[in-house]
Structure formats: C-alpha cells, structure tokens
Structure 1
Amino acid sequence: MVVKKRLESNTKPRIAFGDSYTYVQGTHGHQNYSFVGDAFDFAFDEQTLLSNKIVQNQTATAEGGPNWVEYLTNCGVKPGLTSPRTCKKQLWDFAFAGSDISTEYEKQTTAPPLHHNFTVSLVNQTLQFKDYAHNPLSKFLAPKDSLIAIWIGINDINDSSKYSVDFPTFYKNLTTTLFTSVNDLYTLGYRSFLFMNLPPSRPNTRKPSLELAASECNAARLFEQEKSGAEVRVFDAHAHLSEILDQPAKYGLVNTTAFCAGYDQPDIGENYLSYGCPTPLDTYFWFNSGHMTSHVHRILAEKLQEWLRG
C-alpha cells in the first residue's frame, strides 16, 4: 500500500466496525454486544447517538477491559462512562459482538447463520451507519478527516468449519461482500481505511485462513488503486500476535495456551488465586476460549500505532 502521512494523525477520529474483538459497550447498546442498537432496535435518532456513552468495566468488552481500538484512540479507556465527543481522538464504534460479514454472499453462496437473531452483521453495521449515524456525525467530523477501522472475519471462518463450504468461492465472496460495504462508505466521502487481518486462534493453532488474508489484501490494494483519493492499509495483526506468542516474557506474559477459569468473576482481579489461577489475569494471553486479554489488546494497539506512524 502507498503510505500517506494524513492516514494517521494525533486527532483523526476512528469509526469502527467489526465483531467482538472491536465492539464496545454503549449506554444505548445491546448489553454485552454493541455501542448502539441491535437487529430489533436498528434505527436511532441523532439525540440517541450523540448522548450515547462508552461504558468501561469488566463486562463492557469481550476482553475484560479496554480493547485495541479504545487503546488506539485513548477513548473510553478509563472506568465509567465516556462520551466519544469528549475524547481528543474520538471513537464511534458500530461493531457488534458475534458478527459475521453477512448471512448471504453473492452468487447465492449461503453463509453461516448469525449467532443470534439480534446480531448485526458487518453489512448491516455499515447500512445502519449510513442511514442513522453518518449525517449526525458529519456535522462535526468531516468524512475525509476520519479513519474507518474494520476487523472482521473471525466468526465467518470459525463458523464455516461447521458446514460444507467450497472455500475458494467462500473466501472470494466474503471479500467481495466486505468491499461492497466499504464502497458504500467511500461514496459517503470517507477516504481513509484500516483493515486488520485475522488473529491466531486458540489454542495457538496459528491457522486463520491465509487464503482469506491474501484475498482481503489484494482486494484492498485494488480498491485503493481504483478509488480516487482512497488510502487503504492492512495491518498484519496475525504476525504481530504470533510474535507475542513466540516471545511472551518480553511482554510480561506467562501463559499463552490456557485461560483463567474465573475470568468472568467480578473479583478476579484481586482474588485470581481463589479460582485456581497462579498469576494475575494480565499475565495471560487468552482471556477466554475465543478472546485475548485486554493486556494483549494494549500491546497490539501500541504496535499498530507505531506502524501507522511509520
């Protein structure tokens, strides 16, 4: 990708889409799933959006604490409630925990079903944003000065293992569908896009779909070439997370295979020994069977920030 300085600035707001690795809890969101709304509460007005606040507590993300996009913006990191408008680098997060890219792809390829009937897929996240969030936000956040951040595909790959899938077609249609939604954002005036490729999966199989990663990277490169003024970068989250797994002591980690069975207990921070965990939660790579700890998200965000500036 062509590196252009204005892709990263100290004040560029982030508008995020994705799944549980990216979602943040909002006061107007579905508990444990979203910042605002769900599939049954899809529409919202300007007042609902702008009065919404990021919640930060043990259950407000899928990591037991702030996630990568909160660390990247330093928005919503402190415990309690934070209005995105009060952050120097604003974060407006439309990711939905458990989300797939879509429930049906082009050429009639059937995709795995949604995790819940209230889940908002990536396709519908961008539709929801287009219909209800773009106009209110564009009054004080110019689209050309905002960065769109997308981390999606984990659930698509994990769920596909349960079905009979023609994977070359599946990967192609995943990517096509993803960039159809990205193009919708481009038509609204957004020009800066950041994508994260798939992370390793527990227990450290290091086998997310390399084919999907390659397909996404190629599609991103083509999108940048075809769209006037578009700046697109794909961050190799898989490589950076693999490096953390290979050198855990360097990052203060002592356990990279298991997770603490009491991860969801309210007193886990102080009483981890009571739950059979020999070391504190932030010494673990894995928070639970499918998510990394907040500590790992912070490390990843630091690497991403350095990469963006580089």
Structure 2
Amino acid sequence: MYKHKKISFVFGDSYTAVHGEKGNDKTWSLFESSDSVTNNPIIRDGYYEKTKGLTTSGGANWNEYLTSCYEGRPQDCPAHLFNLAYNGATVDQLLVASWEPSIADFVTQTKQWQNNIKPQVQYTRALTAIWFG
C-alpha cells in the first residue's frame, strides 16, 4: 500500500481526462493489471501525437496544473493525481449513453476508484474534484 499526504482524485469527461501508459486515448488507466495504480505514468503523447497534451491548446489539463503533476507516475508528483476521467463520459449511462460503450460514466469511474485505487492508497488529506462540461 502506498502512503502520501497530498492527493487528488478527479472524475469527469474530456475536460478532465489525461492519458496513461495503461490506459488508452480516453483515460489514464483501464485497470487491467495489478500495477495499474502504482506503476502507471501519465504520458503527454498518445491520441494527439502532435500536441503536448489533450487540451485544445496542446497544454496541460486543469487538474495537472492544480497538482503540478504533468507526466510520470502520480505518486512521484508534488501532489498525487489519480485521474479517473474518460473522454466522452456522461454522468450515468442509464440517463445519457456515451457515444461508445467502453467509455466509463461517472458511476463506473467511482466504482473503479473504490475497487482499484482505494485499496492501494492511504492518505491523510485528499481533494476530490468532478467536472463534466
């Protein structure tokens, strides 16, 4: 189990999402391996290979600025950033379906946090942020 004092958990859609090595062009992690939480660096390339980030300006996302976590493993950043947001996510698939079935809605994102991150991370202070545009 990993311990850290400053930590952020963020949920949402493309206004929040970042890429990771164990994710895809929609999210930081798909949680398909046992080390997807503790050994999954945020990456600056991927789907938008010609830009430095996923924003329309090619820069960092708002939660990367908030935590000073722009790339690398979240636990190596000044403030942890565990980003569960998915590009194209909705709040609840039962209310508004995503354009692609593999996209995790907010309900699924919170279940992913509970099943994959919560058991592996201890913290004394946390910020939780949710943003859907």
TM-score (norm 1): 0.38
Q: Name the structure 1 match of 2:48.
A: none
Partner amino acid, structure 2, of 1:95: A
Q: 1:33 aligns with which of 26, 32, 51?
A: 26
Q: Name the structure 1 match of 2:128.
A: 148
Would you say 1:56 and 2:40 are equivalent positions?
Answer: no
CA distance in 2, matches of 1:61, 1:33: 10
Q: Which runs of 5+ in 2 are unaligned?
A: 46-50
CA distance in 2, matches of 1:134, 1:44: 15
C-alpha change, 1:127 and 1:43, in structure 2 (3 Å) is: farther
Runs of 4+ in 1 over 3 A off after TM superposition: none
Aligned pairs, how many?
A: 123
Q: By how many angstroms is 1:60 displaced? A: 4.2
Partner amino acid, structure 2, of 1:68: W
Would you say 1:21 and 2:5 are equivalent positions?
Answer: no
Partner amino acid, structure 2, of 1:100: T
Partner secondary structure for residue 70 of structure 1: helix
Q: Name the structure 1 match of 2:86.
A: 96
Partner secondary structure for residue 92 of structure 1: strand
Write out aligned runs for 1:231-270 (5 A). Answer: none
Write out aligned runs for 1:118-197 (5 A). Answer: 118-138=102-122, 141-142=123-124, 145-152=125-132, 154=133
C-alpha change, 1:43 and 1:128, in structure 2 (3 Å) is: farther
Partner amino acid, structure 2, of 1:70: E
Deviation readout 1:166-225 (Å, 9 max, x if unpaired): xxxxxxxxxxxxxxxxxxxxxxxxxxxxxxxxxxxxxxxxxxxxxxxxxxxxxxxxxxxx
Structure 1 vs Structure 2: percent identity of aligned residues? Answer: 28
CA distance in 1, matches of 2:120, 2:98: 29
Would you say 1:68 and 2:62 are equivalent positions?
Answer: yes
Partner secondary structure for residue 120 of structure 2: helix
TM-score (norm 2): 0.84
Would you say 1:84 and 2:74 are equivalent positions?
Answer: yes
Larger relative contact order (Cα-Cα within 8 Å, sequence gap ≥ 6)? 2
CA distance in 2, matches of 1:13, 1:49: 13
Looking at secondary structure, tell me which structure has more strand per residue. Answer: 2
Q: By how many angstroms is 1:36 displaced? A: 0.2
C-alpha change, 1:146 and 1:121, in structure 2 (3 Å) is: same
Deviation readout 1:134-186 (Å, 9 max, x if unpaired): 11112xx23xx11101102x3xxxxxxxxxxxxxxxxxxxxxxxxxxxxxxxx
Quote the RMSD (CA, aligned, Å): 1.7
Partner secondary structure for residue 13 of structure 1: strand
CA distance in 1, matches of 2:107, 2:53: 23
Q: Which runs of 5+ in 1 are unaligned?
A: 1-10, 105-110, 155-310
Q: By how many angstroms is 1:59 displaced? A: 6.2
CA distance in 2, matches of 1:88, 1:59: 20
